[in-house]
Structure 1
């Protein structure tokens, strides 16, 4: 599956499923292929299918509030997806915090070394 914003500009459909065939047209498998989902073309007013539910999640998941989920997010699968997204978000925030902390330590370590050098040179 490939999530894209605007890959196929000459087509207004948001979902494309390509199947793998050989040069004779023989299908490799019934259960495979490449899905391209163009999220900017998906604009459902009401979520009416599982496909739409997932597309809406992919499109707006990061802006959702865990404590006030919309009705279309009330299935067990969507709750699990939201939980996974929250865990990734927490890990991302921890990683950003660790990077900032590391930069601060490096900056302060340099200051510490310069201060110690000045003390020893006096």
Structure 2
């Protein structure tokens, strides 16, 4: 992971089974128009568009267009299912110069949305 990658993590517990917790997170992902990329040991989803950011420019584009990747892992606990959401930018090659604060906002907004599921 690049040293200038913007990331955040949220840990919380959902009362219910792993399947119920996964379904709640899936719904939250689809509400934000995320595309589930894999579901092996958890859920991974991609959001936003590198094309839109490069065409419109990060200074103008709304945060929903910022390319972001989210991973959710699940573990059974006495209180239900412990969930860890890790969200990070998915800018790829290029610079975030001038967009860092807005990218931080995009990452945190998505993490908060998924944690509120």
Bin for the TM-score computed over the shorter chain: under 0.3
Q: Which has the higher strand share?
A: 2
Give the TM-score of the pair, scaled to structure 1.
0.26
TM-score between both structures, scaled by the size of structure 2: 0.27
Larger RCO, structure (CA 8 Å, separation 6 or more): 2
Choose 1 or 2 for highest CA Rg: 1
